[in-house]
Amino acid sequence: MQTKKIQKREKMLDKLWNKRDGFKYLRIFAITISNLILLAIPLLKFARVDLWRGNHYFLMRETTVVYGLAGVIGTILSLYLFTFATNFFLRRMFCGWGCPVGFLGRLGEKVDISQKDKFWYIFHLISGGAFSATFAISIMFWWTDWRILIDGTPKELGIFFGIFATILMILYLHGKKWRFTFCKVACPIGIYYSVVSKDQGFTVYYNDPDETCTGCTACELICPVDLNPRTLDLKVKNTDENAVQEMLGHDYCLNCGDCVDVCHIQAKVRNKETIPLRFGWNNKGRSYKGECKSKQLETESNP
């Protein structure tokens, strides 16, 4: 069952879906690259441990199980080091843009939101299923020679597809139920990124010299991890669901840009050029301090 917070975000996404999803194609591009890397590493024999037939590879050369395993672990560590390096400058940008697990949550939301329209519902079900299947098969190929799909015995194929279906089911449950709650409560990578985040870095910041912000709270409603994007440089107080308590909002922020997107829409419908929420290099002390001028959420152009 969906929590009230998820329902609020979906209601907001539903209202604003077609108005602007400025980062949509950039996000799809980033996640495609991420998935392609996951798939290419075993397919190009860069690193693979073949648990079925012993065709282990590392750096495109056939090798022993020990070197194959060392290659897989080393590759995972290298990928991790890459995301760690990005975290140093770009905070949790990987969470918001490159993580296939995080993206599954978005696909689940798309399915929920499009339920009223049969065509889009089926479309999002199929695209979500295709993404999950690609992700699951990528995981399988790290541990299995893909040629098993061509010349595997019925028993081998049965076991292969049994494991594949199990992974798919877990991914389905994640997209259906856990979504960003997993990011807040349980993901060890996310928790680690939160703790090691630098104080300064590329992030969402709030700056409103022209008093464009109406206090519509759309940015809060849409945030997948329940932050107030206007006060990310302050400590988050109500952190019941966060695995680590009492850190700055910036440390929990996924850098996904949903709040920036929704704020852009709010400014656009009022024909304002200044957008209070933006991506940029964070400078401390920019949090929202004043009173809201209005609590009205604007989704239509003013007459």
Residues that bind ligand SF4 (CB under 6 A): 95, 99, 101-102, 182-183, 187, 189-190, 204, 213-219, 222-225, 227, 229-230, 253-259, 262-263, 266, 276-277
Range list of H helices, 91-175: 93, 100-113, 118-141, 148-151, 154-173
Nearer to ligand SF4, 145 or 226 (CB): 226
Nearer to ligand SF4, 30 or 223 (CB): 223
Write down the least CB distance from residue 189 to ligand SF4, Å.
4
Cα three-residue angle 243-257-78, rounded to 5 degrees: 65
Write down the least CB distance from residue 60 to ligand SF4, Å.
29
Whether the CB-CB separation of 203 and 260 falls below 8 Å is answered with no
Secondary structure element (H or E) that encloses residue 35, with its range: helix 24-43
Write down the least CB distance from residue 64 to ligand SF4, Å.
32
Nearer to ligand SF4, 164 or 202 (CB): 202
Write down the least CB distance from residue 105 to ligand SF4, Å.
8
The most distant pair of C-alpha atoms in the chain lies apart, rounded to whole Å, by 71
Write down the least CB distance from residue 253 to ligand SF4, Å.
3
Write down the least CB distance from residue 300 to ligand SF4, Å.
15
Nearer to ligand SF4, 68 or 108 (CB): 108
> Tokens at residue 91, please?
């905070």
List Cβ<8 Å contacts ≥24 apart for 290-296.
Answer: 290/211, 291/215, 292/213, 292/214, 292/215, 293/211, 293/213, 293/214, 293/215, 294/214, 294/215, 294/216, 295/214, 295/215, 295/216, 295/217, 296/214, 296/216
Nearer to ligand SF4, 41 or 263 (CB): 263
Whether the CB-CB separation of 113 and 17 falls below 8 Å is answered with yes
Write down the least CB distance from residue 109 to ligand SF4, Å.
13
Residue reference for tokens 């499009």: 114
Position of minimal CB gap to ligand SF4? 190
65-90 vs 188-196: helix crossing angle, rounded to 10: 40
Nearer to ligand SF4, 161 or 182 (CB): 182
- For residue 24, what are the CA distances in angstroms to 18, 156, 268? 11, 40, 18
Nearer to ligand SF4, 156 or 298 (CB): 298
